[in-house]
Amino acid sequence: MSNRIEPRTDGTSTGSRRRPAGYQAPGQFTTVCAGCRRAPVTAAEVADLSTVWLLPGLGDVPAAARFCRACAPRGPIAEVACAACGDGPLLAGDLAAAADLATTAAIDAWLVETGWRPAGPWCPDCRGGRR
pLDDT in tens, 72-114: 999 899 999 999 999 999 999 889 988 788 888 999 999 999 8
Percent of the chain having pLDDT more than 70?
73
Q: What is the DSSP letter of 38?
A: P
pLDDT value of position 29:
53
Mean pLDDT score across all residues of the chain:
78
* Mean pLDDT confidence for 48-74: 90
* Ordered DSSP codes for 43-65: HHHHHHHTS-EEE--STT--EEE
Burial state string for 16-31 with b = 16 or more CB within 10 A and e = fewer than 16: eeebeebbbebeeeee
> Is residue 33 packed enough to be buried (19+ CB in 10 Å), middle (13-18) or exposed (0-12)?
buried
The mean-pLDDT minimum among 42-46, 57-61, 70-74, 96-100 falls in 57-61
Amino acid at 88: G
pLDDT band at 30 (very low <50, low <70, confident <90, very high): low
Residue 128 CB contacts under 8 Å (≥ 6 apart), including other chains:
117, 119, 120, 122
